[in-house]
Amino acid sequence: MELHAVVRRAVPLCMAAALLSCGGSGSDPTPPPPPPGSGLEQRPNNLSCVAPPRVTGNSTLSVQRAFPALTFLEPVAMLQAPGDSSRWFVVEQNGIVRVFANQQNVATSQVFMDIDDRVFQASQTEAGMLGLAFHPSFPTNNRVYVNYSSPSPTTLRSITAEFTSPDGGLTINPNSERLLLSVNKNFDNHNGGQLAFGPNDGFLYIGLGDGGGGNDPSGNGQNPQRLLGKMLRIDVNSQPGGAPYAIPGGATGNPFANNPRCNADGTGTQNCPEIYALGLRNPWRWSFDPPTGDLWLGDVGQGAFEEIDLIVRGANYGWDIREGFECAGGGTACSSTGFTNPVAAYGRSVGFSITGGYVYRGAQATELTGRYIFGDYGGMIASLTPGAGGTYTVTRMINNGQTPAGAPGPLQLSAFGRGNDGELFALDYGRGHIYRLVFTPAGSGGDNVPQQLSATGCINTTSAGAPPLLSLIPYTVNAPFWSDGAAKERWIGLPNGQNIAVPDSGDWEPPNGTVLVKHFRLGNQLVETRLFMRHPDGIWAGYTYQWNGTQTDATRITGGATVNVGNQTWIFPSEAQCMQCHTQAAGFSLGLETAQQNGNHTYPQTARTANQLTTLNAINVLAPPTGPNPPAFADPTDTSRSLSDRARSYLHTNCANCHRPQGPTPTALDLRHGTPLPQTGACDVAPSRGDLGIANARILAPGDDARSVLLARMSVRDANAMPPLASAVVDAAGVQLLGAWIDSLTAASCQ
């Protein structure tokens, strides 16, 4: 590994010099005089603590049980609400949607929606509750969309309907159903049922199968006067003339947008305007790739081929004339004229019922980023490898019928789930388990980040207390993040010749190669060290290490873990959870802000106490240097600062990484320190995510902390908790501070 090669050269060099000369260039035994007011004499020379390149190569794949305490009944879909990474929703085929906290050790799930009284319940069938989609503005508008199979006295129906939440997104009212589409079917198979909103147009897409039976006996796939066998697209935000939806029109509208809507049974006298694309057999699971808007679809084959399609407006994918690239039924006389070929297909030697999947956009180091990852009900998981001329090859990573590591036998893959962070999960239909997909670059043992902290070139594990090498720049923050009572120490590994950019916003931008190092101590015991790296390609990623009992080294934890330290539960965040807090909206490196750094620090290299901005300016770290009269956040424990300043600084550090414009939450809160209180969306505002049983609740109820949901969420560590992850201990002092501040507010404070 490349980093190991660097470490073997750099660390012994520093240790040979007793770790004292590594702060200088080594060329001048007499350092220059310290700059006036600076805590450091010169900028450290950092050769060892530098973020390595992310690995590329042929990754291998394993699966790990993601939520070991949870089991579901015939799960068919898994998703998160827009902007809300704190919860997962799992659709059970019998008509129940369950919700649970996004925590590895979560022990229970709750019923989010229950419509089993109207869902087709026959066993060993493809029918049932099959799809769920949250409106992009959920929970502000409280709307969700569901597809399910409904029995009737004469026929089976595929229902697409809208439901609403009565409590800000905590549950769905089963009696709020508003029917959008009802399509008659003769058979209980080939339902499709996936729903999703287009990331670019905001329209609702609905995939319907051909209605079942062998060889599409009714010819639905090729008949544009029937909705079966199609990808549909409708506008649920408009109800022209009392209609349940509008038809997307204009230059990018549906192909038959100007025709009358189809009839109540899913047929029309003209080509149905709801149709977006046609010629599909059973589009069981499909997905959008948000950065590109591409719609990837797995269409289940009949007797010979499973196919993967890129769905585009107006295209015909050939069923029931073609299957994959061939004639359906093995014939040779069919024409390909007017049909769009799949991007890939595979035969029965590979799999027998494609599940579909997602383009991978997570944080794991793998060359599979940007590639379509999909599966088969027989247990295969594969990727599409791009080739010349727009071709793709199916690359199997877990073979059909193979028992993958971490699974009790071959997976029965009913669906994949994608988190808001881009990480992927697989649903095992028969066992009801959820598995996390873990990519491991071949030959690297994982990636270029060492498994032992001693090998990273950042920490001197041979010295008592495990200090960093003197090539790092120590720092502190004015308003620290709550970390379950742990004491923290922080350092910057800044690549030589690089500077930290200081934009007008005051939210610093460290250069590629930067490593931010943080120790966590409970009492005198080192528990965890985290490295937050900006790799040479500009991608940020977090890595965490658990210290051994002798305090001589720390071993990397992947996928997260929960351990007991004394009488306390300690949570090691997963790589994905690191990025849920270190958000793009907040600039990733949370503590490096002008207002956080404008304070004193005692530098161990010189034993001098000095202002951090003065020091960093003097040793040429910041570009441009910070200007005159910079802002400074308050230490929440500093009673010499105003109560308001202390509370707002606390909220900025602990909440505003997510609750800000373009943040990863579905709420409209902006809890940044500089946002005027009336513009935060919190002061005297009713909560949109549930009131937690509080009468006349407000997010912040001026003068009444007991009615303030923000404070109530801070005071618990369950599914309603804030922060929603990586904490098992309530910050009692923080709750007291915020409670006193809320009680000091008046109605005029919110105006």
567 plus 685 within the same structural domain:
no
Residue 634 lies in a domain: no
469 plus 550 within the same structural domain:
yes
Residue 713 lies in a domain: yes
Please, which pLDDT band fits residue 56 given cuts at 50, 70 and 90? low
Looking up residue 296, the CATH number of its domain turns out to be 2.120.10.30
Structure tokens at 128: 């049932």
Residue 633 lies in a domain: no
Residue 48 lies in a domain: yes
This prediction's pTM? 0.66
Answer for the pair 700, 708: CB distance below 8 angstroms, yes or no: yes
Domain boundary among 623, 657, 678: 623
Nearest in space to 272 (alpha carbons), one of 264, 280, 284, 261:
261
pLDDT digits over 562-613, tens only? Answer: 899 989 999 998 777 788 788 888 999 999 999 999 999 999 989 999 999 9
416 plus 476 within the same structural domain:
no
Question: Which residue's entry shows tokens 């609702």?
Answer: 204
User: Per the structure, how many domains does the chain have?
Assistant: 4
The predicted pLDDT at position 202 comes to 94
610 plus 689 within the same structural domain:
no
Residue 629 lies in a domain: no
Residue ranges making up the domain that contains 311: 67-354
Answer for the pair 688, 70: CB distance below 8 angstroms, yes or no: no
Listed in order, strand segments (DSSP E) in 588-651 are: 600-603, 608-611, 622-623
Whether the pLDDT of residue 30 is over 50: the answer is no
Domain boundary among 415, 445, 475: 445
Please, which pLDDT band fits residue 645 given cuts at 50, 70 and 90? very high
pLDDT digits over 374-406, tens only? Answer: 999 999 999 998 877 778 999 999 988 788 888
CA terminus-to-terminus distance, the chain: 58
315 plus 271 within the same structural domain:
yes
607 plus 661 within the same structural domain:
no
pLDDT digits over 159-184, tens only? Answer: 999 999 999 999 999 999 999 999 99
Residue 300 lies in a domain: yes
174 plus 314 within the same structural domain:
yes
Residue 308 lies in a domain: yes
Residue 628 lies in a domain: no
Domain boundary among 593, 623, 653: 623
101 plus 177 within the same structural domain:
yes
What 3-state DSSP class applies to 522? strand
| Mean of pLDDT values over 320-345 | 90
23 plus 141 within the same structural domain:
no
16 plus 109 within the same structural domain:
no
Structure tokens at 115: 């419509």
114 plus 18 within the same structural domain:
no
Percent pLDDT > 70 in the chain is 92
309 plus 215 within the same structural domain:
yes
What SS3 string covers 340-391?
Answer: CCCCEEEECCCCCCEEEEEECCCCCCCCCCCCEEEEECCCCEEEEEECHHHC
Write down the mean pLDDT value for the chain: 89
Amino acid in position 164:
T
